[in-house]
Structure 1
């Protein structure tokens, strides 16, 4: 079953998240949707993932970045002896979770912060100089970067 949400407008306005949108489109309706999250584009090469992790402490959340993969997991610590709670109703979701985000090439985690029940993970896309387009002048020994001041000289 196809996802009912149309990601097309977001594809046009983001850089570096092509694999993420493919993953979201192919996730199907049975995909786990806990905890909820937002993906925000801050600039051409900066992004933020915000995950709602109410009830989790900093030491109960693990963030692991690998090549093209960001893994965020949370597991509540076992209650300490003698601190058992007598809940009449439990509506705050504190079950263990694991969220995987496929990252584009050259996207790395820059910073993570936990405040007010929201985990914010800042990402930056840094393309190495060797991978950026270079303008090759005929008869020139050294290529120049496209779009730099050196082109005007």
Structure 2
């Protein structure tokens, strides 16, 4: 089973955290409260899903993270490891109004982004390759990474 996980899968703002914790003490305000939370979170729908990504297991020790980065050049992308986090960023400059005016329909997003993926201490990033608009990041699991279950004795006082 893969331990490589998408780290930031849902945007949680301080307000939505406060409001969700407030459910316990806002008895009687259920409808008002629920509508407020729904409206707040609607503004962030799709925000965390750009760009699309896959995590594919190649074999027991190799994984591939695929990030759809159509419209990005190699020098506009960065892949960094910060501790146990793999950070993928893409930087796009603002378009001029002349560049925007030439399109009749525009469905391919090309905006700056930051995505992170949770790795383990046993994971080694081998390489990153940009191929046909897909950024492929190959990861190798150095050891099996299995965890032993340790029983913790409970003292009676």
The two structures have a TM-score, normalised by structure 2, of 0.60
Q: Deviations over 1:91-147 (max 9, x none)?
A: 22001100000112211210110011000000011139xx99xxxxxxxxxxxxxxx
Q: 1:96 is matched with which residue?
A: 112
Q: 1:127 to 1:66 in 2, by over 3 A?
A: farther
1:61 paired residue among 64, 72, 77: 77
Aligned residues: 111
Q: Deviations over 1:12-63 (max 9, x none)?
A: xx2433xx27x57x73785610000010001111100000000000000011
8 Å contact kept, 2:89–2:113: yes
Distance 1:15 1:73 in 2: 23
Tell me, yes or no, if structure 1 residue 34 matches structure 2 residue 50: yes
8 Å contact kept, 1:16–1:105: no
Distance 2:124 2:133 in 1: 23
Distance 1:27 1:95 in 2: 19
| Unpaired stretches in structure 1, ≥5 consecutive residues | 1-13, 133-153
Tell me, yes or no, if structure 1 residue 113 matches structure 2 residue 129: yes
Q: SS state of the match for residue 32, structure 1?
A: helix
Distance 1:57 1:116 in 2: 11
Q: 1:123 is matched with which residue?
A: 139
Offset at 1:66? 2.3
Aligned CA RMSD, in angstroms, stands at: 3.0
Distance 2:107 2:2 in 1: 38
The two structures have a TM-score, normalised by structure 1, of 0.61
